[in-house]
Amino acid sequence: MADLQIVEKIPLYEQLVNEMARQIAQGTFRPGERIPSVRRTSQQKNMSITTVLQAYQILEDRGVIEARPQSGYFVRAPQEMGSFPEPECSDPPIDPTHVNIGELAIRVVRDSANPNMVQFGAAIPDPELLPTRRLNRILAALARREDIPQYLCGVPEGLEELRIQTAQRMFSAGCMVTPDDLTITSGCVEALSLSLKAVCKPGDLVAIESPTYFVILQALEILGLQALEIPTHHRTGMSLEALRFALDHHPVRAVLVIPNFHNPLGSLMPVENKRELVEMLAGRHIPLIEDDIYGELYFEGQRPPAAKSFDKEGLVLYCSSYSKDISPSYRVGWVAAGRYKKQIEQIKMATNVGTALLPQMAIARFIASGGYDHLLRRIRRAYAQKMAQMSAAVLRYFPAGTRVTNPSGGFVLWVQLPENVDSLELYSLALKARINLAPGYIFSSTPRYSNFIRLNAAYMNEGSEKAILKLGSLVERLAEK
């Protein structure tokens, strides 16, 4: 309350001057734009015309705004116009000793929008491999139609046409689902988050892989759930022996796995393990949340089946999206939630009512118009090649003591650095060299992956060899400390 009284002592017009100057400095009103009129500001702020005029006069005197006859007040261009700073790169480097995992993860993701960085950080697909032009043209054609009903917004389960296409796609993962079994979501993360809410109550224990995709850890934390990290093998994924032991000794409420081309491990759970996993959980009536976002990105042979394909009890909630092969920015995914479908719909409604309509229509139309299988074949070949290229470069340029996974799908590499190398220090040094990477810390709620990093191979090409060389020299320097 003391603060409030101090504020009261500042004259009203000066308060307004400060507020407007802040708004202009921070870009709410930009150079050349008109600011609200004296009359309007007087109404909004409940100040007299005289007070507002006084404030505007001061701002004019300071060169912040200018009056134009008959038009009102406009923001003036700054006297010395420098070049715009690049917002993210100018941030101070991360301090390895004081870091919040959530903030670190968000920074890795946010930096993925910085075109001036080598994008080995977030697991984003190569834009060159996305059918953006064709997809956007389909969206444009749809948007020019006059008969798209606005009212379809209120359908939490999503567009039927897209659910039909998606049910057909799931056939390739060995899942016999119908369009009515599906709920469209705003991406795979939303599918996972809805699934966790559908099967867990706050305080519940969820068994996950260790390491695992950092957004899963964040989702658990935000929902008030406890994570039980189960050991994994870098080739075969979650250890079923360890899981069975955990189930015998802990009140596990749900299990969340990424059986196909795990992020960050790249592991592929063998078919027999998937069957065993599903049967083990069915016997205990424990739901399984399956993230299959990388399932279509196998490098050779045929599409590995989803764990969902062995689901006879409706206990598997299968989550995926079109973000890795069609468009990350359209934000369209889905969940086949089995017996939890009704709950998922209610939670979807209370989360954001439904997913934006036109992006759903465009993706449905894109798939229906053919060429999707061809696209997938092209993507698979490209990522197989990029992954091989990146592995080779890491082997060439990183110091002895480095280990690297050898995934048969997806597009991320999991790299174990010499034991004394701290991935956060490396991250911090790499940022200065404009290279983004994902430090091991964010893949576990413990610091056990402090000397691991995840590299996104999707952006690997001839030109980024240099970046791997640079990373290698940084690792070497840290290893010698």
Find the binding residues for its own copies in span 112-151 (CB under 8 A): 112-113, 115, 119, 122, 124, 127, 130, 132-133, 136-137, 139-141, 143-144, 146, 148-151
Nearer to its own copies, 224 or 447 (CB): 224
Lay out the site mask for its own copies across 150-169 (x = CB under 8 A, - = otherwise).
xxxxxxx-------x--xx-
Site for its own copies in 392-421 (CB under 8 A): none
Site for its own copies in 179-238 (CB under 8 A): 179-180, 185-187, 189-190, 193, 197, 201-203, 215, 218-219, 221-222, 224
Nearer to its own copies, 183 or 451 (CB): 183
Task: Find the shortest distance in angstroms from Cβ 266 to its own copies.
Answer: 21
DSSP readout, 163-224?
HHHHHHHHHTTT----GGGEEEESSHHHHHHHHHHHH--TT-EEEEEES--HHHHHHHHHTT
Q: Does 439 bind its own copies (CB under 8 A)?
A: no
Nearer to its own copies, 147 or 419 (CB): 147
With both helix axes pointing from N to C terminus, report the angle between 423-432 and 465-480 in degrees, rounded to the nearest 10. 130
Nearer to its own copies, 332 or 478 (CB): 332
Helix (H) or strand (E) holding 226: strand 226-233
Site for its own copies in 328-357 (CB under 8 A): 328-332, 342, 345-347, 349-357
Q: In terms of DSSP bridges, do strands 182-185 and 205-210 run parallel, antiparallel, or are they unpaired?
A: unpaired
146's CB contacts (< 8 A; 6+ apart) are none
**CA distances to 165, 320, 412, 454 from 397, in Å:** 44, 35, 18, 16
Respond yes or no on whether the N-terminal peptide bond of residue 251 is cis (omega within 30° of 0): no
Bridge-partner residues for 364, per DSSP?
none
Task: Find the shortest distance in angstroms from Cβ 84 to its own copies.
Answer: 12
Site for its own copies in 307-326 (CB under 8 A): 312, 323
Task: Find the shortest distance in angstroms from Cβ 33 to its own copies.
Answer: 8
265's CB contacts (< 8 A; 6+ apart) are 209, 211, 232, 234, 237, 405, 407, 414
Instruction: Show the beta-strand stretches assigned E in 76-196.
Output: 118-120, 182-185
Site for its own copies in 458-477 (CB under 8 A): none
Nearer to its own copies, 455 or 475 (CB): 455
DSSP state of 310: G
Task: Find the shortest distance in angstroms from Cβ 54 to its own copies.
Answer: 17
Site for its own copies in 29-58 (CB under 8 A): 29-30, 36, 40, 43-46
- Whether residue 252 contacts residue 244, with contact meaning beta carbons closer than 8 Å, is answered with no
Torsion angles phi and psi, residue 18, rounded to 5: -65, -45
Nearer to its own copies, 205 or 242 (CB): 205
Among 26, 70, 71, 90, indicate the residue that binds its own copies (CB under 8 A).
Answer: 26
Task: Find the shortest distance in angstroms from Cβ 231 to its own copies.
Answer: 24
Among left, alpha and beta (phi > 0; psi -120 to 50; other), residue 63 is left
Site for its own copies in 237-296 (CB under 8 A): 271, 279, 283
The neighbour count for residue 83, using CB atoms within 10 Å, is: 5
Among 10, 11, 22, 93, indicate the residue that binds its own copies (CB under 8 A).
Answer: 22
Number of residues that bind its own copies (CB under 8 A): 108
Q: Does 358 bind its own copies (CB under 8 A)?
A: yes
As given in the structure block, the two tokens for residue 390 are: 């990146």
